[in-house]
Amino acid sequence: MKKSAFTNMLYPAAFFIVLLAVWETVSRLNAIPAFILPAPSMVVVTLFKEFKVMSSHILITLYETFTGFFISIIFSILIAVLMDSIPGIRKTLYPLLVISQTIPIIILAPLFIIWFGYGYLPKIIIVILICFFPVAVSLLQGLAAADKELISLLKSMGASKFQIYRFVKIPSSLPGFFSGLKIAAAYSIMGATIGEWVGGKNGLGVYMIRAKQSFNTDKVFAAIIVITVLSIIFLKLIEYFEKKSMPWQKIREEEYIE
């Protein structure tokens, strides 16, 4: 299994290295102007030079991301539990949640800027809207998929609704819940950046807009690298908490490998 995992990582890594080598060669030969496609080495140098300037923008984007992400988790848990426990609420809210996802965030973002100004609030709302749906739906499906026979057994023993959720529904919904969290984490920083693109005073989105307007494409690529790295770190943090919250998953994986 370890050899197979290494092989699976080797192919994309090799392809990525070849892609960077071709990109570097094309840029060095001046086949494409640097203001359109700067060389990877130039982007890396710019990243190190600009990191001190970017650090304040990074902190603002992270603040908007984490605030919106954690608020969305609270709302998702509350709404998912309500929809699972009260069928009428599920029939009422679930279609509205689905319809809300058909409206592109990039269309709503200007409205939030008009309504709430250029501060943190519109960006946080955008992050909440992006993160809320995958977490709420994944958690709802996990709660609904709980073992019905085990729930019936607990009811026959006089268990309360709280005990049923604590001992059956919540543990069984954790895999789906963390799947939704990972999807939300992957898009959360992007959501904050979109809000900053539309209107803002600081943040990575604002930094990218300013770099684009001055044709400093290497700075735009440097910001993209930062956003990508931050998203990967955020995703890995979710995976770490997933393993800590579900130790039985590791035992099952070890049994499967054996």
Render the chain in DSSP notation, one character per residue. -HHHHHHHHHHHHHHHHHHHHHHHHHHHTTSS-TTTS--HHHHHHHHHHHHHHHHHHHHHHHHHHHHHHHHHHHHHHHHHHHHHH-HHHHHHHHHHHHHHTTS-HHHHHHHHHHHH-SSHHHHHHHHHHHHHHHHHHHHHHHHHTS-HHHHHHHHHTT--HHHHIIIIIHHHHHHHHHHHHHHHHHHHHHHHHHHHHHS-SSSHHHHHHHHHHTT-HHHHHHHHHHHHHHHHHHHHHHHHHHHHH-HHHHHHHHHHH-
- What residue spans define the domains of the chain? 54-257
What was the pLDDT predicted at 69? 93
Question: What pTM did the predictor assign?
Answer: 0.81
What was the pLDDT predicted at 8? 66
Low-confidence ranges of the chain (pLDDT < 70): 1-8, 11, 247-258
Per-residue model confidence as pLDDT tens digits over 65-100 = 999 999 999 999 999 989 888 888 888 888 888 887
CB atoms within 10 A of CB 120: 20
What was the pLDDT predicted at 59? 92
What was the pLDDT predicted at 68? 92
Query: What gap in Å lies between CA 128 and CA 189, rounded to an integer?
Result: 11
Query: What CATH class has 54-257?
Result: mainly alpha
Query: What gap in Å lies between CA 48 and CA 123, rounded to an integer?
Result: 27
